Amino acid sequence: MIASLKGTLIAKQPTSIIVDVQGVGYEVRIPVSTYYELGEVGSAVSLFVYTHVREDAIQLYGFRTQREKELFMQLIGVGGVGPKLAITILSGLSADDLIMAIRTNALAKISSIPGIGKKTAERLVVELRDKLAPLSSEEAEAAYVQASAAEEADEAVKRDVISALMNLGYARSVAERAVTSTMAAESDHSMEWILKQSLKRLFR
């Protein structure tokens, strides 16, 4: 089994690359996160590799870190999740965000990944929540929970302010644009302040 590759990058796409190792070109499937960390064509590349053997083919999957490879192997151990879907999952969320989402039961975030429905998200949480503990840390989980709570609070404020603006007669699309722009520009995300600043934008 091929566990790692080190060679020259001779071609790359967001989902696959070709690595030349002493004159042999290996095609390797990769998540988008790995693609962004690669150098230009012609540069040296080193990958941790998972070899997937089927009756009709041998496919290589490559990762920049051992941690990402271990996460991939945990994903394909879940019923209904094959290598292709596992790569899609790792392309949809960073390793840190995915681990934290599974560990904290953030089903909405997991389900936001293309190709992942609610049932698959639930299965990932049930089967991997405890198994991913070694890849996580208490500090990282605490920070993620805090960030997720802040994100949920912002979404609640956004919904309430949009609703208030619609009650004042503004179209939803107009209200959404005003509130989105206001929240991006303001550090105070209390409902009263965002509503006030959104109205200012609409009055311009």
Which domains, ranges and CATH numbers included, belong to the chain? 4-63 (2.40.50.140), 66-135 (1.10.150.20), 142-203 (1.10.8)
Give the Cβ contact number of residue 157 at 10 Å.
19
In the DSSP assignment, the letter for residue 11 is E
For residue 182, what pLDDT is reported?
Answer: 92
What are the angstrom distances between the C-alpha of 125 and each of 15, 95, 97, 118, 139? 25, 15, 13, 11, 20
For residue 140, what pLDDT is reported?
Answer: 58
- pTM of the complete model beyond 0.85: no
For residue 138, what pLDDT is reported?
Answer: 59
For residue 95, what pLDDT is reported?
Answer: 87
Q: Is the distance from CB of 10 to CB of 26 less than 8 angstroms?
A: no
Q: Is the distance from CB of 122 to CB of 107 less than 8 angstroms?
A: yes
Q: Is the distance from CB of 62 to CB of 68 less than 8 angstroms?
A: no
> What six digits make up the tokens of 21?
């190792």
Tens of pLDDT along the chain (204 residues) come to 789 999 999 999 999 999 999 999 999 999 998 999 999 999 999 999 999 998 888 999 999 989 899 999 999 999 889 999 999 999 998 888 899 889 888 888 899 898 898 999 999 999 998 898 887 655 555 555 666 667 778 888 999 999 999 999 999 999 999 999 999 988 888 889 999 899 988 887
